[in-house]
Structure 1
Amino acid sequence: TGPYRNSNLADVVRQDQDNPDVGAIQLGDFQFYRPSYNAPAAFIAGPIYDGSRLVGILAAQLPIDEINRVLTGSQNWQQDGLGDTGETYLVGDDLRLRSAARLLIESPEEYFGILRDSRIDPETVDLIEQLQTSLLLHPIETDAAKDVIVGESGTRIMPGYYGSDVLSSYAPLNIQGVNWGIVSEMALAEAYVPVNTLQNYLLLSIIVLILLVTLFATIVAQRFTRPIDLMVQFSQDVDNHEAIPDLEITERNEFSELAQIVNRMAQKIREEAATITSIKQEKESLLLNILPPLVMERWQQGETRVLDQAQQVVIIAIQILGLADSQAKVGANQTADALDEWVTLLDEQGSLKDIERLNCFGDRYVAACGLTKPRLDLIKRGVDFAQDALNLIKDIDQKHGLSLSLGIGIHTGSVTTALIGQKKFQYDVWGEPVSVASQLSQQTEPNTIRITQAVYDRVQEFFQFESGQPVLLAGNRSMPTWVLGKSGMSDLISQLTTGLGWGDEGENSASGNSPNPTNKEDTNKEDTNKEDTNKEDTNKEDNWL
């Protein structure tokens, strides 16, 4: 009944009142919102229950900056394969933008110049310039926008919303409460660059083929030089390491003796070439165990300084607990076999999720996602990978009769990667995500995943988290953390100990207690002492890899 009763915030609240089911979420489309000085805003709302009693409705404004960050790849269009002219944007059922235009972000002056030269109302252009947003203001009356609003999808060439021809791919978004579509476009001239390159390559290949045919015809015509030509061609084929039969010359003369000599030389060359190929394959296989494929290619091409900055990477640090106890229980050989099997299976799971192992040394395993291959869902992949690690260690424990457990820490952010050393090199990664993830893995409870706030913000809707103790960083900085489903982890720990015959001692170990537990006050003092040492440990964590 207030002054904003006709706003989209009021609409989404009324929709939630009309449908107050548990878990029912209502989403309202963007509209100009007076409390935000008429800036576009969209809201999402859901009921709040105390048991079975409805106590209220929670409404939140959708962050347009987060939508723009996802669609622009944090404004890294080229890394996302969109080149210099491509962009991805959302369009609503009113044929107007629901996200920022790329040109408005990169070159506002050029953007407003194009708008003023188009058929768009000058007042609308002035309003876009005043609000510094194209949301709800910039009309998109292209064929792609019209098709996607009626539920069609496709990829074809058509005029873009700036008037020039583009290669457009579009599809509707299945989001309850709004009728939006997503469109990805690139200038046709830029999209055709690979096609033109292929065309030039085929033309050059045809020219080369014609020259080879002409050369072959000339050789055939000169039959009196045939034995020499055969040996020349044979030598060239051997030099190219092609699998060909021995050279045969039927005449009994000097050419036949020369052919035998050439055949013996060719056989030695084949053997040496096979040896070199085998050594090269073994070398590449060894390199791939310590280097990502792209880094290995750059090193093989002679690049002496391999240094990169990765802006969005998730680091998964795993601390393997119980190695010494397991070795004392079943012996070093069986413990090593179990650890080898776990690392191999975990590497396979990582390959399926585009997660690369950075290091596996002693009782530590470190992996990363997004380092050489950008992924929009890299953080969820990292958490899924951590859960795979826990499931695998459970299977390994049951199979080999061990008592291994894991402490896992996850953090995300920017890191620096480099190939360090000349004769004995190492692929090193450093940055805050590495040190923080390492610190979390050492401070978390056994068989528990501990994440930072940055990770939690990106995956909270996919997993059940509980608030954890904050971690202390260098400079007395405190960072909040979250723990993935402690109750669920307790069930997992119980499953790990079931059937292994550990008795009371196994149960105490799985729950994080010693066989002779101390009182809670002593435990808290120990935790406090551990956190006090974190300040010194943090400065060492960058060398953890």
Structure 2
Amino acid sequence: MRLRVRTKQIAILVLISSIAGGLTGYLGYRSGRTALKQSVQDRMTGIRNAMAFHVETYFDLVRKHALAYNRSVFTTRLIADYVDGFQGLKERELNDVELADLRKYYTDSVLPALERNTGERPSLEHIFPKSKAARYLQHRYLLSAVRTGMAAKSATIVDDSEYGGFHARYDTITKNLKSLFGYEDILLIDVGSREIIYSIDCGIDLGMSLSEAPYASTGLGKAVDRIIERQEKGTVEIVDFEPYLANYGRPTSFLVCPVFEGDRMTGIFAYRFPVDRLFGILSGNGNWDSEGLGLTGEVCLIGTDGYLRNDSRFLRQSQESYAASLERAGHDRESIERMRRLGTSLLTVRYPQSIAEKIARGESGTEIGLDYLGKEVVMSYEPLKLNGLKWGIITKITTGEAFRAVRGYKADLIWTMGCIGIVTSLIAGFLGRRMAEPLCQLRQATRAFSKGFYGVRVRVRSQDEVQDLATTFNDMAAEIELRTEKYREQAETNLKLLHNIMPTIVTPRFRILAGVSADDAYPTEVTLIYTEIEGYDRIFASSEPSAAMRTIRRLIDEFHASTDRFGIEELSTSGMGYLAACGLNEPHFDHTRRVLAFAMEQNRIVARFNETHDTELYLRTAIHRGPIAFGNLGRHSFIHDVWCKTIALARMPNEDQAESYVRISRSVYDRLSDIEEYRFVPEDIVDTEIVWILKSSHILNEAVLRKADRFEDKSRKLAP
């Protein structure tokens, strides 16, 4: 594909600017992307540290509050009164109607609720209270709230027992405590019997023993056993989340703390941790964006088993969308169904185990990976210090949102580079045009000059190499114009001389007739051949003059017939002389070799003619090469150098009178000396120049004839 200089210059300028701009943009983009990524990771780390501090502070606050509250005189008195009141209920029995009502409640409400949440239906006897005190409390406090359709905290409870009096005295105080710290429930446990003697919410665990099924194997039951066994003041046990029967199978966590009167443990408080309070801490009360979590970020608490210890923001926003995301991420259907039943991600959704293992090993860090929803996120994690709980905290946000600024920066960079490219192209086009304009002028001048407008000149003011080139062109054009004018003048002089020294019929052959006007210059050099036929006197002696002339005419006709094959132009056939040239009407760069090949062909024609007509003819041939148009031409100089010299060479005396030969001048020999087949030998000196001769013994040599034949074939291909 041919490209103009202007196009190349524009392409080079655009390419250089594009490479420079692209490289600069790429380095800037890479640097900016790295900085933005580091900024996102630092932001996630900062949020993680802040959230970890909030969670640890909250747990520490609750622990300290429990210790302080349990050491108060009020708490000691409250424990003593509830224990005494509960002891008074151990002999109170429900009548058959009341017992039937309680059983009916378990059958109609408790068992179906447990089945809905856990997927299993336990037997009534397994969960139904066995002690008289437990049945009494659940009938009075649990069923009363259900029957009135109100929460236990506001229900009108009819209890004429001593326990009822204590309940009426202390219940409001403990409920205020629950509301203040956000507990879901507060339980009071008797140390001696390990029975739950008080519950704010009055659930199905009220009055139940933690030393018997179904609560003995729970985390709460085991924590109570450890506290009673240690008998240490200031002990706080935090029970990790686990399905809790009294909470209808929902994940439940407790903070368990003993109450001492002196050195004697009188009771144990169990504070049920609020899931909503934890969620509020981790979400900024639902203001995720203000917490730096955007639309896709969240904070997760996980245990060493990998299961979440808090509700996901996406669950709170849309349970169905959250379930669909879990299904797409490959979570098993059973876990998703359990999440649907319980309405929480606590202990139902599991984070990738690799992160849980790192947290279990005490590692912390920030990295990019897949979260439990199968999305690529920037996550920051670390273990928490929660008084025995092996939890970790993870803050995460999807890379799509986190690196939105990177994509925006990339788009801005591409847009900027596009604008730079357009501006650069316009500037490159302008500069390319200005830079290529002198070359375009030079090209147009060259084309005009090649078409004969020799007076064309180029004006360039670029003060560079192009101006030097234009100056050189102008000088060359002026020189050629001057020489051409001289050649025209010389051509006119030559034409006048030709008319003076040659016959009118011969003169037009020296002019270039085809396609060249009278104003054009003639070719500078041609090669002339002059051949004289010798031995014809015997033909005239043995035949009539007219018959002899016809015989000689046939020989000359054969000469004429072979001229076209070699590009030879016949000039004159006066008498026994034959004058021809090559390079007049049709210019040939190899006209000398063509003429020599034609001379070989003439000798071959004569040899065949002698054999056919039983004659002994031979040829005297001379070949001379010289200029036609030259300076200072006079009449005698032209005749001597162009025509007469050729004829004189042919008529030089020869030792072998009856033998053909070819004489060539020095100018011809210089053109033919490299042809080994032609064995020219120096013969004489004419006008201070050596003349070479090729005699008959070599003219018809097989190698020479083959050379002539090859040249003839080549001439046919080159001839127009």
For normalisation by structure 2, the TM-score amounts to 0.28
Q: Normalized per residue, which structure has more strand?
A: 1
TM-score computed with the length of structure 1 as normaliser: 0.37
> Greater RCO between the two (CA within 8 Å, min separation 6)?
2
Relative to total residues, which structure has the larger helix share, 1 or 2? 2
